[in-house]
């Protein structure tokens, strides 16, 4: 899945901030976007927060349910009957959202 990890984004941010030469407009925009995202994510930024694209939210919810043992991954029932869109909407209350590069991402709210 196409999740973002703030550890990777922080490395990119650090490199852009360390540039001695003036940044090209595209790089300057990227730097501003990364700083804004770091502010929105807050103190968990440095801990490696995972950002899940809104378009993959239901898939993420299903995978999380299997990973934590809420549903047996190998049992046909009840997993094949679960409304994962409804489950994803219910889980959303524990997550915050931020826009980055034109995409809405969800991350665990602190």
Closest to 7 measured CA to CA, from 38, 31, 33:
38
**Model pLDDT, residue 1:** 55
The model's pTM:
0.89
Q: Judge whether residue 35 has pLDDT over 90.
A: yes
Q: What is the pLDDT of residues 68-105, one digit of tens each?
A: 999 998 888 888 889 999 999 999 999 999 999 999 99
* Extents of the domains making up the chain: 4-108
- 51, β-bridge pairs: 4
Question: What residues contact residue 42 under an 8 Å CB cut-off, 6+ apart?
Answer: 110
| Distance from C-alpha of 54 to C-alpha of 74, rounded to nearest angstrom | 26
Which residue's entry shows tokens 């852009």? 16
Structure tokens at 19: 């540039």
Assign 3-class secondary structure to 72-98: CCCCCCCHHHCCHHHHHHHHHHHEEEE
């Amino acid at each position: 899945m196409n999740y973002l990890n703030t550890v990777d984004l922080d490395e990119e941010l650090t490199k852009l901030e360390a540039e001695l030469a003036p940044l090209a407009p595209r790089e300057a925009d990227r730097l501003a976007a990364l700083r804004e995202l770091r502010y929105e994510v807050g103190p968990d930024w440095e801990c490696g927060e995972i950002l899940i694209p809104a378009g993959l939210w239901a898939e993420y919810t299903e995978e999380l349910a299997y990973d934590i043992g809420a549903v047996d991954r190998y049992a046909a029932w009840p997993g094949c009957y679960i409304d994962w869109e409804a489950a994803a909407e219910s889980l959303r209350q524990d997550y915050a959202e931020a826009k980055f590069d034109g995409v809405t991402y969800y991350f665990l709210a602190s």
